[in-house]
Amino acid sequence: MNLPSLTYSDDQATAYDGVAEMLRGAGIDLEDSLLMPPPGGADQVMAVTGKAGSGKTLLLAELYKALEEAGVEVVSGDYESRKRRDKRTLAILAPTNKAASVLRLRGVPATTIHRILYTPVYDPEYERIAEWLAGNGERPVDVEGLTELALDRAAAFYAGNKSIPGALAAAGLRGSDFITGWKRREEPLDIGFVDEASMLDDKQFEDLKEIFPTLLLFGDPAQLAPVNQSGTMVFEKLPQKRVMNLNRIFRQDADNPILDLAHALADPDLGFEQFERMVEETARRDNRVVWGQRVEVDLMARSPVLVWRNATRIRLINAFRNVHGAPEDALLEGEPLICDGLELPLKHRKKRLDLEARGLIKGAQVIYLGAGRKPGFSRLHVMGAEDPQVSAASIVKIEKPDEEEPFIPFAARMGATFLHGAAVTIHKAQGSQWETVQVFAPDLYAAARMGRMEAGQPLWKRLAYVAITRAQERLIWVVRNRLSKPGGPLVVDDLRSQPVAPLSLETTTEDFG
């Protein structure tokens, strides 16, 4: 078939052709840009797999562009226009806000799985504006809070960027202000692309198959399988002919030492000590890899230290709080947190949907901005979310070394629960990326000494692979139990650019080991 002008590797071209054939069977011809009604029949699931640097994200982006050029409408989770019988749609999904934001930074309009499974109920005024911007309705008149000039600004923004929330922001409004509730999606969608599919568990996979008759998964088989999945990933259960693997590894300009280290782990004869010597040698010749003698505390507020053992995570968190002088009974503005789930009774299901849809799902990374107006409420910045600032009822838990029960500085009666986020396990970091990543090597050494295996591979190698590939620009391989002192206090000024959206619901070092 005629591929886009981009030059593909042989395995990328084969994968593109395989996906195009699947889409043709679903009534979408990419070669001739023809859209037909879905033919019905058996659902289709296919996977594109490959290690970091193999071109999975590039292929996803090119397939998205080809579908958009063919006239397929992208469903982002922000607003869906009225259904038309001839409309074909695509949703691009990731398991977490952070993973979705990595795709959005590359120009791919991704949203979270949760944001597609649950849809907002909008105020009628919002729908009038949105349908007009999408070309499906008349220009609204007499909209409270919107002047004619503001409407013109919204229309001008939408003409260049097909984002209705963005257009409203240009007019001085926020889409979230018009959301009156949430409901589980009742009608199926059309085509779904899922990035970071190695993170999917069986329940999420079944939910997605109910929504999307045509589903394409993108995943890395070298990562860690979800907890309680017996070391397997959902795409590993597909028939072999439905899985296309990308084998070639593309290098960035002047090579990529971080990817080189990650792919060196595939050598079955490579031991931990040999690998560490490889890291040390790489650090001598390339400043993108650092042989770290201590944990850099100034990075921990936005980029958590990646560890294997919970005991290490808890010690690092307490060391971080101690060097910043954090009181035991309160949080400092700028402290990082990780959402650990929601503590809500079943009768508050609507509130649960509201919290989750705003990005407060398990594993979400947030920055504490200060106390809310009500006792137990917190103002938070959800990292990677498109509408990041919220105020929510919170239950914050600070775990202590050698203590079974966590210390709780404050708590609402119910709401979102949080653990501290200055350090996280490598399992929880999966799907996220940061510009600079610190990996706590003594933990991986402990895993190597234990000789544990996962899905036929030494566990330390899987842990090291996932941890290393979280780094976009710079990798710090920390080899000692030492923590630097902070260069200054925690800051949040760079996160205060947007107003908070309320959620209505009752260089010296010191040792941390």
Burial of 402 (0-12, 13-18, 19+ CB in 10 A): exposed
Question: Two tokens at 396?
Answer: 């914050």
Half-sphere exposure of 262 (CA within 13 A, CB side): 26
| Tens digit of each residue's pLDDT, the chain (513 residues) | 444 456 777 888 999 999 999 999 999 999 888 888 888 777 899 999 999 888 899 999 999 999 999 999 888 766 666 665 668 999 999 988 878 888 888 889 888 888 888 776 777 777 888 888 878 888 888 777 678 888 888 888 888 776 777 777 777 776 666 667 667 777 888 999 999 999 898 988 999 999 999 999 999 998 988 876 667 899 999 999 999 999 866 544 447 899 999 999 999 999 999 999 999 999 999 999 999 999 999 999 999 999 999 999 999 999 999 999 999 888 999 999 999 888 876 666 677 777 777 788 888 899 999 998 888 889 999 988 777 888 888 989 999 988 888 888 877 777 889 999 999 999 989 888 899 999 999 999 999 999 988 878 899 999 999 999 999 999 999 999 999 999 999 999 888 654 444 433 333 344 444
Residue 81 is predicted with a pLDDT of 64
Question: Two tokens at 303?
Answer: 């980029």
* Cross-strand pairs, 420: 337
Give the ranges where 265-395 is alpha helix by DSSP (H). Answer: 272-285, 310-323, 349-357
Secondary structure of 150-219 in HEC code, one letter for each residue: HHHHHHHHHHHCCCHHHHHHHCCCCHHHHEEEEEECCCCCCEEEECCHHHCCHHHHHHHHHHCCEEEEEE
Strands 434-440, 471-478: pairing is parallel
Residue 503: strand, helix, or coil:
coil
Terminal Cα-to-Cα distance of the chain (whole angstroms): 59
* Cross-strand pairs, 99: none
Residue 83 is predicted with a pLDDT of 60
CB neighbour list of residue 62: distance below 8 Å, 6 or more residues apart: 4, 6, 16
Distances (CA, A) of 31 to 65, 66, 91, 454, 505: 13, 9, 21, 42, 51
Contact 217, 234 (CB under 8 A): yes
Residue 510 is predicted with a pLDDT of 41
Question: Two tokens at 329?
Answer: 């009974």
Question: Two tokens at 78?
Answer: 């922000």
Q: What predicted TM-score, i.e. pTM, was given to this entire model?
A: 0.80
Residue 230 is predicted with a pLDDT of 65
Q: State how far the Cα of 201 lies from the Cα of 408, in Å rounded to an integer.
A: 31
Contact 131, 81 (CB under 8 A): yes
Residue 252 is predicted with a pLDDT of 45
Q: State how far the Cα of 416 lies from the Cα of 419, in Å rounded to an integer.
A: 10
Q: What is the separation of C-alpha 297 from the centre of its chain, rounded to a whole number of angstroms?
A: 24
| Dihedral, 384, 389, 391, 392 alpha carbons, nearest 10 | -10
Contact 225, 232 (CB under 8 A): yes
Give the ranges where 47-106 is alpha helix by DSSP (H). Answer: 56-69, 97-104
Residue 176 CB: number of other CB atoms within 10 A?
19
Residue positions counted in the chain? 513
What 8-state DSSP symbol labels residue 480? S
CB neighbour list of residue 26: distance below 8 Å, 6 or more residues apart: 38, 39, 44, 190, 191, 213, 214
Residue type, 504: S
Distances (CA, A) of 56 to 196, 218, 449: 10, 7, 33
DSSP letter string, 377-396: EEEEEETT-SS-EEEEEEEE
Q: State how far the Cα of 90 lies from the Cα of 213, in Å rounded to an integer.
A: 11
Residue type, 280: E
Strands 336-343, 365-371: pairing is antiparallel
Q: State how far the Cα of 42 lies from the Cα of 209, in Å rounded to an integer.
A: 11
